[in-house]
Amino acid sequence: MSSLQSNVLENHTPTGREEAWRFTPLKRLGGIHDGSATAVERNSLAINGSLPTGVTFSHQEIEAVTETDDVIVNRIRAFTSKGAVLSIAANAEIAEPIMLNRASFGTDSAEFSRVLIKAGNHSKSVVVIENSGDTHLAEDLEIVLEPGAHLTLIALQEWDSKTIHAARHHAIVDRDATFKSIVVTVGGDVVRLLPTVDFIAPGASCDLSGVYFATAGQFFEHRMFVDHKVPNAKSRVNYKGALAGDKAHTVWIGDVFIRAAAEGTDTYELNRNLLLSDGARADSVPNLEIETGEIVGAGHASTTGRFDDEQLFYLMSRGIAMDDARRLVVRGFFNEIVSEIGIDSIQERIMTRIDGELEKAGK
């Protein structure tokens, strides 16, 4: 088990004093963490559109790939042995993104959901999960990348304002496989998402990117853990967030563990936050633990800043009004990551949502 303090999930009902839980407003988790939620199985995850050749999707009995000390995940596994399984056949190259979406059923009960995504040997695919509406959701998502697989997983949290979403997206990345994750969190009341990566053979790599925008009262937590336990794996983390409005609160934790065996590791993680008003709070904690010196590189950076007056001045000196200048700067800030999605209609939808969040905050 990792000795990284902040990643020890302790597998008991959290009290809030644990390092891994100290930022999370437990009272607002709807009982997902302590067993008091009315858990239901809904199979809300569905394929949107037709299944390309080489891809299967079904709700079925499911086996956990790895054990975890995440108490929410363990509650989900204790509750149900079924889940959604998406498989991409070995060597399949899926040209179009595979679109999944979740129907939401309101907030009277909590959906406990298990999902497994399997990317076969040397397959190549992009999977998009679109989350919207109001729901309570506890999600145990495992992603298995067989040797040489390339998988991009785009998880979009475009929730409405009442959603509670606690999820672990755990990728197990085999030899020469490449996992790319893009997380977008722009809605919900409380979202706690744990993108975690386990490298199980040399040559594996991951790229975890994300954007989030929290406005008044919203709590969004993104907590990564990349476990370099084999040699010659590469990881990149890049999360960007904006906050505006009273008691908007975001948390970004970047845990990277380079174990003694992980010679040749190359890792860099970055978190940047844009604080757009007083009363908002961005916690940003990069955490690098290194047990071997024989590495290619390991670094991290974290910045939290406000609007750059020089940028706004430059734009306004060309006739662009203040609100438009702010919108351009915020879009520009997020563009680096949003443009990675590669699907124009989704990119524009996210940017428009971001414009909306900014406008809401300006009032």
Partner 1 sequence: MSTLEIRGLKVSVETEQGSIEILKGVDLTIKSGETHAIMGPNGSGKSTLAYSIAGHPKYTITEGTVTLDGADVLEMTVDERAKAGLFLAMQYPVEVPGVSVSNFLRTAATALRGEAPKLREWVGEVKSAMESLKMDASFAQRNVNEGFSGGEKKRHEIMQLELLKPKFAILDETDSGLDVDALRIVSEGVVRAKAANNHGILLITHYTRILRYIKPDFVHVFANGRIVEEGGPELADKLEANGYAEYVTA
Candidate segments 26-34, 58-66, 221-229, 304-312, binder of partner 1 by CB under 8 A: 304-312
- Which of 64, 158, 90 shows the shortest CA–CA distance to 347? 158
From residue 276, alpha-carbon distances to 79, 154, 161, 326, 357 in Å are: 41, 26, 20, 10, 11
* Token code pair at residue 359: 């406008």
Tell which one of 221, 251, 333, 357 touches partner 1 (CB under 8 A). Answer: 333
User: How far is it, in rounded angstroms, from Cα 121 to Cα 86?
Assistant: 14
Tell which one of 53, 317, 344, 363 touches partner 1 (CB under 8 A). Answer: 317
- Which of 188, 190, 184 shows the shortest CA–CA distance to 128? 184
172 neighbors 206 (Cβ within 8 angstroms): no
Residue 314 interacts with partner 1 (CB under 8 A)?
yes
User: How far is it, in rounded angstroms, from Cα 222 to Cα 212?
Assistant: 9
**Residue closer to partner 1 (CB basis): 65 or 321:** 321
Residue 310 interacts with partner 1 (CB under 8 A)?
yes
Q: How far is the CB of 323 from partner 1 (least distance, A)?
A: 10
For residue 316, what is the enclosing H or E element?
Answer: helix 309-316
User: How far is it, in rounded angstroms, from Cα 119 to Cα 148?
Assistant: 9
Q: How far is the CB of 205 from partner 1 (least distance, A)?
A: 25
Candidate segments 104-112, 136-144, 147-155, 307-315, binder of partner 1 by CB under 8 A: 307-315
Candidate segments 37-45, 66-74, 93-101, 312-320, binder of partner 1 by CB under 8 A: 312-320
From residue 31, alpha-carbon distances to 35, 66, 279 in Å are: 6, 25, 27
**Residue closer to partner 1 (CB basis): 42 or 331:** 331
Phi, psi of 202 (to 5 degrees): -60, 155
Residue 313 interacts with partner 1 (CB under 8 A)?
yes
Residue 356 interacts with partner 1 (CB under 8 A)?
no
Candidate segments 110-118, 138-146, 218-226, 328-336, binder of partner 1 by CB under 8 A: 328-336
59 neighbors 65 (Cβ within 8 angstroms): no
Q: For the purposes of burial, counting CB atoms within 10 Å of the CB of 309, is it exposed (0-12), middle (13-18) or buried (19 or more)?
A: exposed
Q: For the purposes of burial, counting CB atoms within 10 Å of the CB of 33, is it exposed (0-12), middle (13-18) or buried (19 or more)?
A: buried
Residue 335 interacts with partner 1 (CB under 8 A)?
yes
Residue 301 interacts with partner 1 (CB under 8 A)?
no
Tell which one of 17, 27, 318, 363 touches partner 1 (CB under 8 A). Answer: 318
**Residue closer to partner 1 (CB basis): 61 or 310:** 310
* Token code pair at residue 83: 């889940």
Candidate segments 92-100, 133-141, 209-217, 313-321, binder of partner 1 by CB under 8 A: 313-321
181 neighbors 195 (Cβ within 8 angstroms): yes
Tell which one of 81, 93, 321, 360 touches partner 1 (CB under 8 A). Answer: 321
**Residue closer to partner 1 (CB basis): 219 or 334:** 334
Sequence letter at residue 264: G
**Residue closer to partner 1 (CB basis): 263 or 359:** 359
User: How far is it, in rounded angstroms, from Cα 209 to Cα 339?
Assistant: 11
Those residues with Cβ within 8 angstroms of residue 27's Cβ, 6 or more apart along the chain or in another chain: none
Count residues binding partner 1 (CB under 8 A). Answer: 23
Contact letters for partner 1, residues 259-298 (x by CB under 8 A): ----------------------------------------
DSSP 334: H
Residue 78 interacts with partner 1 (CB under 8 A)?
no
Tell which one of 331, 353, 359, 362 touches partner 1 (CB under 8 A). Answer: 331
Candidate segments 107-115, 250-258, 297-305, 323-331, binder of partner 1 by CB under 8 A: 323-331
Binding site for partner 1 (CB under 8 A): 309-311, 313-322, 324-325, 328-329, 331-336
